[in-house]
Amino acid sequence: MPTAASSTDRLAPTRRAVADVGHLLRFRARAVRRRASVVLLAATFLAVTAAAAVVPALVPGAADGPHASDVRLLLPSGLAGFLALAVVSAVASGGGRELIAHEHAVVHPVSPTTDHLGALLLAPLNIAWLLQGWLLLGSTAYAFGPGRLLPAQLGTLLWLAAATAVAQVVAWSVEWVRRGPHGVATVRVAGVVVAAAVLVLQVTGRLTAVLDRMPTVAVVAGYVDGFSWRWLATVGAEVALLGAAVVLGAVPAHAAARRTPRDELRLESDLHPARPMPRSLLGALLRTDRASVWRAVPMRRGLAVLAVGPGVVAIIGDLPWHAMTVLPGLVASGGALLFGVNAWCLDGRGGLWRESLPVPASTVFAARSLVLGEFLLAASAVTIALSSLRAGVPTPSEAAAMLATSVVVLVQVVAAAMRWSDRRPLAVDLRSARATPAPPLAMVGYSTRLAVSTTVTGLVFSGLARVDDWWVAPLVAVTFVAWSTARLLRTRRRWLDPVARSRVVTTVAA
């Protein structure tokens, strides 16, 4: 008797895809080394989410105060901004993050539908998604107060899910276009056109009028009356949008899977003519490391998003110089998450070959640290240059504070990234545009710690930018740089230990 699935059972592939997602999640859970850390992280995540959704509603002035009215007016723009952030994040990663690595998925029957559903589940494990989500939940709680807290937060949570699913549909569609004829150029031109259109709307003063006509205005209006027929209609529309986006996302996912990733394939098949040998060992290592970074698809896409995105936001928001001191830290943190938190994984199997070369270990460490610093500095410089277009000429105190912040967060992030790369190395193939240097939960931990430390540093120098004496900020920066440099030198001493270094090399080469 045949046991194959009937061709009339159209839902069989969908059920199989959902089941496969469960299998992959259990597989990833079994691979976690420290279960206690995962439980602690999950508990912390739930506690922070609950606090963001409830505590602002208990603050005096919530719902009835003048500031609460202002927050309600800005809430539709916040919902639209979250959708834009989700779209940019998913498009930059080529359709969303991978539930299973590309090289592992080759030998397993993982369908594009399974890949699509897995990417949806991994979307919240992103510090930008989490911070924006917590901000929206807190704003909603403060805007509506305890009386209408439950219906408003239910609607906001549904919007977060629906916006993430819609962004996934857009991302898969863009990836399908990118993999087609002239797709890379088409996507780049479209991105420039969209950014230019937003800037034109802001400069001409019509951006506010456009935001007032966004559908998110009706969404927020549906929360005003609490549990009512209007709220029920709004929630029903969000549920319908969520379901439609989850189902429709599989269509462009399948279409993209049938096309070859042109940009990744082109980089792997390009010819690079030999250049004259560098004059020093450090120069040779720097050239090799730079090539491994700048030729990788996720690095180039990530750098473009990190460098241009915050700069465009600063231009639209017309940020003053003292508020811009937060941007270098955020950009540097995002850049480190592209590869810095597991910097030695760039070598892969080549790490064994590199260890056989007659090169001092200290030179290898210096080259990798310098390349990471160059990468972060390039992204921060572009962001600052874009942000300064509307900020005007800075005062000496503001210029000194911005320069001091850039140097401090650069050394701070490089020291933290090299320390984590030495302590928790992982074997990761970063050739895929959707790859990450560490598992999703580990990435959340890294991004949280980096975001908190660099944001606090930026706020400190934001206050120093208002001090009349310009030399105060550089003087304070010396203390920060000395502390981070000491931690970086301590990591360097660990790398010079042959036993510790062999553990890292054999791990990333596995």
Q: What is the pLDDT of residues 153-163, one digit of tens each?
A: 999 999 999 99
Query: Residue 497 pLDDT > 70, yes or no?
Result: yes
Q: How far is residue 462's CA from residue 293's CA, in Å, rounded to a whole number?
A: 32
* pLDDT band for position 479 (cuts 50, 70, 90): very high
pLDDT per residue over 168-215, tens digit each? Answer: 999 999 889 888 888 888 888 888 888 788 778 777 777 777 777 788
Query: Residue 488 pLDDT > 90, yes or no?
Result: yes
The domain tally of the chain equals 2
Name which of 109-118, 248-257, 314-323, 383-392 the model is least confident about.
314-323
* pLDDT band for position 2 (cuts 50, 70, 90): very low
Q: What percent of the chain has pLDDT over 70?
A: 92
Do residue 206 and residue 289 come from a single domain?
A: no
pLDDT (mean) for 371-377: 92
The residue out of 237, 263, 289 marking a domain boundary is: 263
Q: How far is residue 23's CA from residue 281's CA, in Å, rounded to a whole number?
A: 47
Residue 39 lies in a domain: no
pLDDT of residue 303: 80
The residue out of 205, 229, 263 marking a domain boundary is: 263
* pLDDT band for position 242 (cuts 50, 70, 90): very high
Do residue 100 and residue 195 come from a single domain?
A: yes
Q: How far is residue 402's CA from residue 372's CA, in Å, rounded to a whole number?
A: 20
pLDDT (mean) for 420-441: 82
Residue 255's identity, in one-letter code, is A
From the list 303, 341, 328, the residue with the least C-alpha distance to 428 is: 341
Query: Residue 6 pLDDT > 60, yes or no?
Result: no
Domain that holds residue 79: 48-263
Q: How far is residue 420's CA from residue 179's CA, in Å, rounded to a whole number?
A: 35
From the list 372, 357, 379, the residue with the least C-alpha distance to 419 is: 372
DSSP state of 6: P
Query: What is the full DSSP assignment across 261-320?
Result: -HHHHHHHH------PPPSSHHHHHHHHHHHHHHTSHHHHHHHHHHHHHHHHHHHHHT--
pLDDT per residue over 203-235, tens digit each? Answer: 777 777 777 778 888 888 888 888 889 899 999
- How confident is the prediction for the chain on average, in pLDDT? 83
Say how far residue 110 (Cα) sits from the centre of its chain.
25
Residue scoring higher pLDDT (414 or 325): 414
Residue 5 lies in a domain: no
Query: Residue 108 pLDDT > 80, yes or no?
Result: no
DSSP state of 322: T
Residue 25 lies in a domain: no
**What pTM was computed for the model?**
0.82
Q: How far is residue 440's CA from residue 122's CA, in Å, rounded to a whole number?
A: 7
Residue 70 lies in a domain: yes
Say how far residue 320 (Cα) sits from the centre of its chain.
25
Question: CB–CB of 284/278 below 8 Å?
Answer: yes
Do residue 353 and residue 479 come from a single domain?
A: yes
Q: How far is residue 95's CA from residue 172's CA, in Å, rounded to a whole number?
A: 5
Residue 35 lies in a domain: no
The residue out of 228, 263, 298 marking a domain boundary is: 263
Residue 275 lies in a domain: no
Residue scoring higher pLDDT (114 or 37): 114
Q: Cβ atoms within 10 A of the Cβ of 276, count? A: 5
pLDDT of residue 265: 67
From the list 194, 419, 412, 215, the residue with the least C-alpha distance to 316 is: 194
For the chain, the straight-line distance linking the first and the last C-alpha, in angstroms and rounded, comes to 45
* pLDDT band for position 103 (cuts 50, 70, 90): low
Residue scoring higher pLDDT (338 or 131): 338
Query: Residue 339 pLDDT > 80, yes or no?
Result: yes
Question: CB–CB of 246/113 below 8 Å?
Answer: no
Q: How far is residue 71's CA from residue 453's CA, in Å, rounded to a whole number?
A: 27
Phi–psi pair at 108, nearest 5 degrees: -120, 145
Do residue 303 and residue 337 come from a single domain?
A: yes
Question: CB–CB of 262/270 below 8 Å?
Answer: no
Query: Residue 1 pLDDT > 50, yes or no?
Result: no
Do residue 290 and residue 359 come from a single domain?
A: yes
The two structure tokens encoding residue 261: 């990733």
From the list 142, 123, 161, 164, the residue with the least C-alpha distance to 54 is: 142
Residue 13 lies in a domain: no
Do residue 76 and residue 102 come from a single domain?
A: yes
Residue 2's identity, in one-letter code, is P
Do residue 382 and residue 478 come from a single domain?
A: yes
From the list 264, 273, 340, the residue with the least C-alpha distance to 295 is: 264
From the list 108, 117, 101, 165, the residue with the least C-alpha distance to 14 is: 117
Do residue 80 and residue 143 come from a single domain?
A: yes
pLDDT of residue 338: 86
Do residue 219 and residue 254 come from a single domain?
A: yes
Do residue 303 and residue 187 come from a single domain?
A: no
* pLDDT band for position 85 (cuts 50, 70, 90): confident
Highest mean pLDDT among 191-195, 276-280, 288-292, 394-398 belongs to: 394-398
pLDDT (mean) for 405-427: 92
pLDDT per residue over 65-84, tens digit each? Answer: 777 888 888 888 888 888 88
Do residue 127 and residue 247 come from a single domain?
A: yes
Residue 55 lies in a domain: yes
From the list 467, 465, 446, the residue with the least C-alpha distance to 457 is: 465
- Whole-number CA gyration radius for the chain: 24
Q: How far is residue 111's CA from residue 490's CA, in Å, rounded to a whole number?
A: 46
* pLDDT band for position 40 (cuts 50, 70, 90): confident
pLDDT of residue 352: 84
Do residue 234 and residue 354 come from a single domain?
A: no
Q: How far is residue 482's CA from residue 252's CA, in Å, rounded to a whole number?
A: 51
Q: How many CA atoms lie within 13 A of 286 on its CB side?
A: 14
In the three-class reduction of DSSP (H, G, I as helix; E, B as strand; rest coil), residue 504 is classed as helix
